[in-house]
Structure 1
Amino acid sequence: MKAFVFPGQGAQFVGMGKDLYEQNPLAKELFDKANEVLGFDITSIMFAGTAEELKQTKVTQPAVFLHSVISALCMGDDFAPEMVAGHSLGEFSALVAAGALSFEDGLKLVHARALAMQKACEVAPGTMAAIIGLADEKVEEICASVSKEGSVVIPANYNCPGQLVISGNVEAINEACEKMKEAGAKRALPLPVSGAFHSPLMQPAKDELQAAIEQTTFKAPVCPVYQNVDAKPYTDPVAIKNNLIAQLTSSVRWTDSVQHMIADGADDFTECGPGKALQGMIGRIDKTVAVHGIE
């Protein structure tokens, strides 16, 4: 069975989508529409901006979403998913590609999400760190031991076996990183981000995004969408909405999502969007499945 997966923030690169725009009439139409919807010229930043401009959350999230969704839609009949999933932001791309959200509504929600997350970062500064080479259970145990009232750290992204990202207050992250190294982690590397994504520090953004999601029309997707919060497949629009609202303060259960997709018959994964991060993760989760990018 064919599964299509969509990457999250961090996969962006300058020049992304330019070839699609120049070579595909549908892509050009959708990119031009995106500039109208957003009220600024995102394509000029994507195609020829600086890495610094592209790194701003309010630009990065719509940019990765646009590249991912437009790449999928421009495949024509070759885009025939039997299941989809997206990593964090990529869940919005997956929902649009699978027909649960319109292109315009998906883009508006992603833009609202990016602005809300940016604001939450300013209200409650936090950070994240990649932990390499420790069992999930050990990472969870250390996070729990470090967390206390007013200073929290939690596992945010379960990317693949031996690779987790933790998220929380800066002091708590620093303390947790030291303890991870003492426990035998190969690396405990703070990431260059200004926010504690997928942690309780994102509560203000969740509240803001919830209002936008509740006002948006969702339809049943053409195939099951495996959602981040519990890694299970959904087709009911109400459940999909609720999971999307919960996502901002919940862990991304990517390892479980891929394993559940494989258990349900997926043997061919295509990553739609910039970069190859998900291909690498899926290869480490299960070496027996076919994994490739859209190109």
Structure 2
Amino acid sequence: MNYTFIFPGQGSQSLGMGKDFYENSKSAKELLDHASDFLKINFKHLLFEENDDLNKSQFTQPAILLTSLMAYNTLNELEPNLKAKISLGHSLGEFSALAISGGLDFLEALKLVHQRGLFMQEDCAKIEAGMMVVLGLDDESIEKLCEKARVENKQIFAANYNCEGQIVIAGLKADLLSYENEFKNAGAKRAMLLNMSVASHCPLLENASLKLYKELEKVLKPNFQTIISNVNAKPYSSKEEALNLLKAQLVFPVLYKQSIKTIENETSYFIEFGSKILQGLNKKITTKPTYSLTNLNEIETFLKEIKS
């Protein structure tokens, strides 16, 4: 069996995520406690109690990555010999993939994405940035409308290629709203502004990408297991490649559906850690099954199924 491990990105957060792992897995509990001490963030409060921080990028990103790593640790505790041939993530999830593939220490990965969230928030704080999901339009039509908008001096860019008929665009919130009817008139079933205060994966994050590069230089390992890049949907496994690809990742679109297509013929199962978001997308991209592991029971059920 060939497994591909996949990891969700920003937007997959929810109150209570990871709690089952924390309560039922020694290694997951230890990781959360160590992360809280290392980053001086109360992750028990952030993940399990009502608060205003979970949707702020500098907290959202380490919270999601931590939940994914807790899920991974729990699986590893029960079945240490189950390894992935290749890993990938959606946006932020690429850093989770790096962590489990030996490219980053777990705690350093959490610190890095906390900084990444801060850099992104800083770039977007004064410009009223946002993101919008467009449903029911093909890639080419959306790309042409984004180009048309930029000719009109509007800041609108294709940001996430999630699956057929679903692209997320990024830019200035006012510009996105001004083009809502343009997308609908072109045939979109829906064009809806998302609850986000950053414009990920577009040129508005140029400064953030430069800052991130400097932090990546400090913590990336020289070599690691193969990762599929969000930027070009191609494999990489070295620090030299990672530095340029992860810097570019903040200003180039996420090629998620293309990445899944790249490796589906080499994959028996996709396994998603800590969320069901990518499982939903994968159903629209590939016929290969995706297992989502969001609690201990799902891990135990998954292990029984692959052994039967």
TM-score by length of 1: 0.94
Q: Which residue of 2 aligns with 1:236?
A: 238
> Which AA in structure 1 matches 2:174?
E
Q: Which string of whole-angstrom CA distances, capped at 9 and with x for unpartnered residues, describes residues 64-99 of structure 1? A: 000001211221225411111100000000100111
Equivalent residue for 2:263, pick from 250, 254, 261: 261
Mark the runs of 5 or more structure 2 residues left unpaired by the alignment. Answer: 299-308
Q: Which residue of 1 aligns with 2:31?
A: 30
- CA 1:79–1:113 in 2, change beyond 3 Å: closer, same or farther? farther
> Matches of 1:98 and 1:49 in 2, distance apart?
33
Moved over 3 A (4+): none
Q: Does 1:177 align with 2:180?
A: yes
| 1:128-277 pair list within 5 angstroms | 128-148=131-151, 151-222=154-225, 224-263=226-265, 265-274=266-275, 276-277=276-277
Q: Which stretch of structure 1 is more off in the superposition, 9-18 or 167-176? A: 167-176
Mark the runs of 5 or more structure 1 residues left unpaired by the alignment. Answer: none
Q: Which stretch of structure 1 is more off in the superposition, 171-180 or 108-117? A: 171-180
- CA 1:150–1:38 in 2, change beyond 3 Å: closer, same or farther? farther
> Matches of 1:260 and 1:157 in 2, distance apart?
16
Query: How far 1:149 sits from its partner (Å)?
Result: 7.5
Query: How far 1:176 sits from its partner (Å)?
Result: 2.7
Q: Which string of whole-angstrom CA distances, capped at 9 and with x for unpartnered residues, describes residues 84-143 of structure 1? A: 110000000010011111112111111110111111111332111100000000000000
SS of 1:19 mapped into structure 2? helix
SS of 1:55 mapped into structure 2? coil
SS of 2:250 mapped into structure 1? helix
> Matches of 1:93 and 1:254 in 2, distance apart?
15
> Matches of 2:65 and 2:106 in 1, distance apart?
10
> Matches of 1:185 and 1:232 in 2, distance apart?
30
> Which AA in structure 1 matches 2:70?
I
> Matches of 2:26 and 2:153 in 1, distance apart?
51
> Matches of 1:112 and 1:176 in 2, distance apart?
32
Q: Which residue of 2 aligns with 1:47?
A: 48
> Matches of 1:42 and 1:290 in 2, distance apart?
32
Q: Identical aligned pairs, as a percentage?
A: 38
Q: How many residues align?
A: 290
Query: How far 1:178 sits from its partner (Å)?
Result: 1.6
TM-score by length of 2: 0.90
> Matches of 1:13 and 1:169 in 2, distance apart?
26
Query: How far 1:48 sits from its partner (Å)?
Result: 1.7
- CA 1:159–1:78 in 2, change beyond 3 Å: closer, same or farther? farther
Say if 1:143 and 1:176, in contact at 8 Å, map to a contact too: no
> Which AA in structure 2 matches 1:9?
Q
Query: How far 1:199 sits from its partner (Å)?
Result: 1.0
> Matches of 1:278 and 1:135 in 2, distance apart?
20
Q: Which string of whole-angstrom CA distances, capped at 9 and with x for unpartnered residues, describes residues 173-194 of structure 1? A: 1233221101110001111111
Q: Which residue of 2 aligns with 1:103?
A: 106
Query: How far 1:208 sits from its partner (Å)?
Result: 1.5
Say if 2:156 and 2:176, in contact at 8 Å, map to a contact too: yes
Query: How far 1:289 sits from its partner (Å)?
Result: 0.6
Say if 1:125 and 1:169, in contact at 8 Å, map to a contact too: yes
Q: Which residue of 2 aligns with 1:293?
A: 292
Query: How far 1:22 sits from its partner (Å)?
Result: 1.8
SS of 1:158 mapped into structure 2? strand
- CA 1:105–1:34 in 2, change beyond 3 Å: closer, same or farther? same
- CA 1:82–1:238 in 2, change beyond 3 Å: closer, same or farther? same
> Which AA in structure 1 matches 2:166?
Q
Say if 1:27 and 1:70, in contact at 8 Å, map to a contact too: yes
> Which AA in structure 1 matches 2:290?
V
> Which AA in structure 1 matches 2:48?
F
> Which AA in structure 1 matches 2:243?
K
> Which AA in structure 1 matches 2:50?
G
Q: Which residue of 1 aligns with 2:90?
A: 87
> Matches of 1:229 and 1:251 in 2, distance apart?
7
Q: Does 1:21 align with 2:12?
A: no
Say if 2:99 and 2:106, in contact at 8 Å, map to a contact too: yes
